[in-house]
Chain A
């Protein structure tokens, strides 16, 4: 069964304290891995798509990397406005192109 596990469940950082969020997945052929940011009571906001092992993408203080079994979201020198839940999702190569399978998310709190 396709599955996505994110760790840690929650992370508290001081402003400027860099860290990484983990997304491990088991999927019957990976078509794409997605990172989203979700603020409380809001919809997921697209951040990155990664397609193959070794790929990296960056956006401001965020950098996403992908291996054959997991993805990391690195946050460099975070600011309080980076506080949110970060969701990882995978799209499997089998069973159609449609659905994303989401992890439970990592709740990030960045304190000044």
Chain B
């Protein structure tokens, strides 16, 4: 069964360091997303990406965040200068069509900022 894969599964970093989280969406999917979940809190939308550009972003997704699809398979989330409050589980998701097509999530990358 096709799945969304994410790396690394866990990353520990020092405050102020840059972090890149990687995702390989399902191969025939066209719409890509990042969500995050702070421990014990709700899953929150960060950003959506289609046709090589951001289609929507939340207030959380400020200038320290960026996304990129550097090749035909990878989708990355970069945090330029991490803060303690960036510690969370980051989920990549993809869907094959707009509207209400099912959104499939990866297993997540746990980011711990010290």
Q: Report B51 CB to chain A, min CB distance, Å.
A: 13
Query: Is the CB–CB distance between B42 and A102 below 8 Å?
Result: yes
Q: Report B100 CB to chain A, min CB distance, Å.
A: 4
Q: From B31, which residue of chain A is reached at the shortest CB distance? A: A98
Q: Which residues of A contact B41 (CB under 8 A)?
A: 104
Q: From B45, which residue of chain A is reached at the shortest CB distance? A: A99
**How many chain B residues touch A (Cβ–Cβ < 8 Å)?**
26
Interface residue ranges of A22-47 to B (CB < 8 Å): 31-32, 34, 36, 41-46
Query: Is the CB–CB distance between A99 and B48 below 8 Å?
Result: yes
Q: Which residues of A contact B42 (CB under 8 A)?
A: 102-105
**How many chain A residues touch B (Cβ–Cβ < 8 Å)?**
26
Q: Please judge, given known A-B contacts A87-B43, A98-B55, A104-B42, whether A46 and B104 are in contact too, CB under 8 Å.
A: yes
Query: Is the CB–CB distance between B33 and A91 below 8 Å?
Result: no
Query: Does A112 have its Cβ within 8 Å of any Cβ on chain B?
Result: no
Query: Does B96 have its Cβ within 8 Å of any Cβ on chain A?
Result: no
A–B pairs, 23, beta carbons within 8 Å: A31-B99, A41-B89, A42-B108, A43-B91, A43-B106, A43-B107, A43-B108, A44-B91, A45-B105, A46-B103, A46-B104, A46-B105, A49-B100, A51-B100, A95-B56, A97-B100, A98-B45, A98-B48, A98-B56, A100-B35, A100-B43, A104-B42, A105-B42
CA distance A36 to B108 in the complex (A): 15
